[in-house]
Amino acid sequence: MSLKRLRLGCDVSMVVRVFAASSIGAVVLAAGLPAAEAAGKPISVDFVSGPLNDSFFPPLYKGAHDAAHDLGVKLNYIPIDESDIEASSAQTMQAAIAQHPDAIVVGDFIPNVVDPYIKQAVAAGIPVYVDQSGQDQWRADGAFGFVGQQGPQVGSAAAGYLAKDGSKNILCVINVPGNLYLQSICRGLSARATALDLKSEALELPTADSTDQAQVSRDIGAYLQSHRDVNGIFTENAAVGTAAVAALDAAGTGDRVHVGTMEISKIALQEIQNGKLTFLVNEQPYLDGYYAVLFAAQYVKYGLAPVGAVSTGPSIVDKTNIDKILTVFNSEPDIIGSR
């Protein structure tokens, strides 16, 4: 896999630094200045996260890019390959550790693979900040913080929204097999559905199908053919959400099945407007990327970090607030979602 790099650097005023440090909340105090600062070099952060052809990650990358620019950080974004996620998760963390940056930010998508490398980096003196996935393991791994959203809360919010719209049996679709974060979302959905006296089911797409939207639509359509009582669907990727809509259109059942999805894309926003999608769950990935670089830089420079996890979602987008989202989406590319 080709590892993509971005090297950025610029000066930043003390006003920006003080505002950024004070606007998040409680902090803890740790060690002093890093070697890079002492030598007059910019702080270096390696950011291991998802590929930019996945609709979730362009806003996350944009946030990381903007934070690096604002703070004068040298950023190296290293994307994993979702089609070979276990091997790629190991390879990208190995590459990050080998460069010995001042800090590593990582999406802990496959904990049994990534956790040992987080511990290895920490043991080597590289502070690690966990981003977007890994909310259950970051403390035990020795990371100094976490930013993102809690998977079970997402599932619970989705089940509650679909229940409000009349869904009685909800299908939760997992688009990356083996991803514990995505699985935890479906578990949260199931728990809330049970509490509301509803039924829920989960469909984990085959790895070979997960990046082929037409095949995903066929997979969902085939499942619905044999599970005709499903009248609510929640997917964990905007492209999968539109694939679910296509499956319902092909079957002629879109009028009786409500669909919600994680992530925001241009097509997903259009489908909210035309009633094909009921709602979107926005983790606000731009904030995932921006805060992760901000917190990493402040920890390296000052020894400061937020206490505990920082939540960026779930934030619900539906017809009640879509106008504001569309205004930003159309004027600020890749901050709200992928085009």
- What CATH number is given to the structural domain containing 115? 3.40.50.2300
Q: Are 208 and 267 contained in the same domain?
A: yes
Residue 52 dihedral angles phi and psi, to the nearest 5°: -80, 0
Q: Are 106 and 22 contained in the same domain?
A: yes
Q: Are 144 and 248 contained in the same domain?
A: no
Q: Are 111 and 188 contained in the same domain?
A: no
Residue 196 dihedral angles phi and psi, to the nearest 5°: -95, 5
* Per-residue model confidence as pLDDT tens digits over 113-126: 999 999 999 999 99
Q: Are 118 and 183 contained in the same domain?
A: no
Q: Are 243 and 212 contained in the same domain?
A: yes
Lowest mean pLDDT among 54-68, 140-154, 182-196, 207-221: 207-221
When pLDDT is averaged across residues 220-226 and rounded to a whole number, the result is 95
Q: Are 46 and 190 contained in the same domain?
A: no
Domains of the chain: total = 2
State the pairing for strand pair 309-311/146-148: parallel
**The 3-state secondary structure of the chain, one letter per residue:** CCCCCCCCCCCCCHHHHHHHHHCCCCEEECCCCCHHHHCCCCCEEEEEECCCCCCCHHHHHHHHHHHHHHHCCEEEEEECCHHHHHHHHHHHHHHHHHHCCCEEEECCCCHHHHHHHHHHHHHCCCCEEEECCCCCCHHHHCCCCEEECCHHHHHHHHHHHHHHCCCCEEEEEECCCCCHHHHHHHHHHHHHHHHCCCEEEEEECCCCCCCCHHHHHHHHHHHHHHCCCCCEEEECCHHHHHHHHHHHHHHCCCCCCEEEEECCEHHHHHHHHCCCCCEEEECCHHHHHHHHHHHHHHHHHHCEEECCEEECCCEEECCCCHHHHHHHHHHCCCCCCEC
Look at residue 7 and tell me if it is in a domain: no
Q: Are 141 and 156 contained in the same domain?
A: no
- The letter for the amino acid at 262 is M
Q: Are 204 and 96 contained in the same domain?
A: no
Q: Are 24 and 122 contained in the same domain?
A: yes
Q: Are 205 and 300 contained in the same domain?
A: no
Look at residue 329 and tell me if it is in a domain: no
Q: Are 263 and 161 contained in the same domain?
A: yes
What is the residue-averaged pLDDT of the chain?
88
| Residue numbers of the domain that contains 170 | 151-282
Predicted local distance difference test score (pLDDT) of residue 29: 29
Nearest to 166 by CA among 74, 257, 59, 61: 257
pTM to 2 decimal places: 0.80
Look at residue 325 and tell me if it is in a domain: no
* Per-residue model confidence as pLDDT tens digits over 277-322: 999 999 999 999 999 999 999 999 999 999 999 999 999 999 999 9
Q: Is the pLDDT of residue 43 over 70?
A: yes
